Structure 1
């Protein structure tokens, strides 16, 4: 999502949601987040599962140092103990290798993903071991630049939504989707704003 897309989305969201309008006046709009599409982005998403942003970035840097060219072949040729030394858990090594194998055998068609509707692309990605809905939605948001994605399983998002809306309890993923359904077709910008709010809200 570039600045133009974010500005358009924030303007729309502020016009229909007073809580966002008030919050934008306090902390401003979020910065763009654009990732390249492809295996490197998916490996990064696997690494970031259930980790802080800082910890995930540290491990990803070590993986890129180990594999300057992250590809299906380079992953499958790398001994697991080297990936383990870079910081990946055994389970995430299994997920990364399963991803590489799926791409190598064309069970996961990265180019075809670009043309699929959101729901179809999410279903295609979540067929892979270790790739749940959150992982698929993050890839669609940041690598495929889809406009209407809301990763409700993200802890920071639901915490921020609770604070933004003044809720007594943290909403479940299902409740969060209901609370924000009127943000469509700008759910991706709304999600980006919630991460921004999580880090910068007074």
Structure 2
């Protein structure tokens, strides 16, 4: 059976991980607890995750907002009415247009029932979703972590999480995925929350430092 995290136990799980891993403890000491990132269990959320594949979060959100403008409410039925030209006008690539329509058809036909997935274990969810064109393990990882809030998922296909892990643990750049996953074994059964701590670190490192005063005054 799967375990979930929520607002009631999230910080205690973070603290448990920190008590057993000094590197995670240092992140929390320097940057505080990570936000509890979550998303609703909806078709729109899965569309958003598909749009986020291999592009910036800003680009994906821009496309999602254009889709919202076009159909008002992002539902399978409304998305299936859109033409290829309308998808293009919403900054959606041809491939992602196809992926979104496959997902919409799977939900309309009853092949996929998102509400039922709330009671399913990770492996069954992964099998059902990856059977759809355009949905791979990264998309499923994000769905399990952010939507269903399952506690023990490490998104090995996510560059931000992987790069943060390499930096925090001082790992070689050419380390294999199998070796990286072996490193994450120490965080079971809370690898999702450990990944969120790593994302928190990654995002905190990207925040630009305020400009330093020069001899002539503060730089504009």
Distance in 2 of aligned mates of 1:171 and 1:152: 12
Distance in 2 of aligned mates of 1:56 and 1:134: 15
Shift of the alpha carbon at 1:73? 0.6
- Residue number in structure 1 paired with 2:171: 167
Distance in 2 of aligned mates of 1:61 and 1:4: 32
User: Aligned to 1:117, which of 109, 118, 121?
Assistant: 121
Distance in 2 of aligned mates of 1:170 and 1:23: 24
Distance in 1 of aligned mates of 2:179 and 2:9: 26
1:39-50, aligned counterparts within 5 Å? 39-50=43-54
What is the TM-score with the length of structure 2 in the denominator?
A: 0.87
Distance in 2 of aligned mates of 1:7 and 1:151: 20
Once superposed, what is the RMSD of the aligned Cα atoms? Answer: 1.5
Secondary structure of the residue aligned to 2:8 is helix
User: Aligned to 2:135, which of 131, 134, 148?
Assistant: 131
Shift of the alpha carbon at 1:200? 1.1
Aligned residue pairs: how many? 202
Could you tell me which runs of 5 or more consecutive residues in structure 2 were left unpaired when the two chains were aligned. 207-220
1:88-167, aligned counterparts within 5 Å? 88-167=92-171
Structure number having the greater helix percentage: 1
Would you say the 8 A contact 1:156–1:198 is kept in 2? yes
Is the aligned partner of 1:26 residue 2:54? no
Quick check: which has more Rg, 1 or 2? Answer: 2
Is the aligned partner of 1:182 residue 2:186? yes
Could you tell me which runs of 5 or more consecutive residues in structure 1 were left unpaired when the two chains were aligned. none
1:146 and 1:83, CA in 2 relative to 1: closer, same or farther beyond 3 A? same
Distance in 1 of aligned mates of 2:192 and 2:144: 9
Shift of the alpha carbon at 1:156? 0.5
What is the TM-score with the length of structure 1 in the denominator?
A: 0.94
User: Aligned to 1:71, which of 58, 63, 75?
Assistant: 75
Distance in 2 of aligned mates of 1:3 and 1:25: 20
Would you say the 8 A contact 2:41–2:115 is kept in 1? no
Question: Runs ≥4 in structure 1, deviation > 6 angstroms?
Answer: none
Secondary structure of the residue aligned to 2:107 is helix
Please identify, of 171-180 and 12-21, the stretch whose mean Cα deviation from structure 2 is larger.
171-180
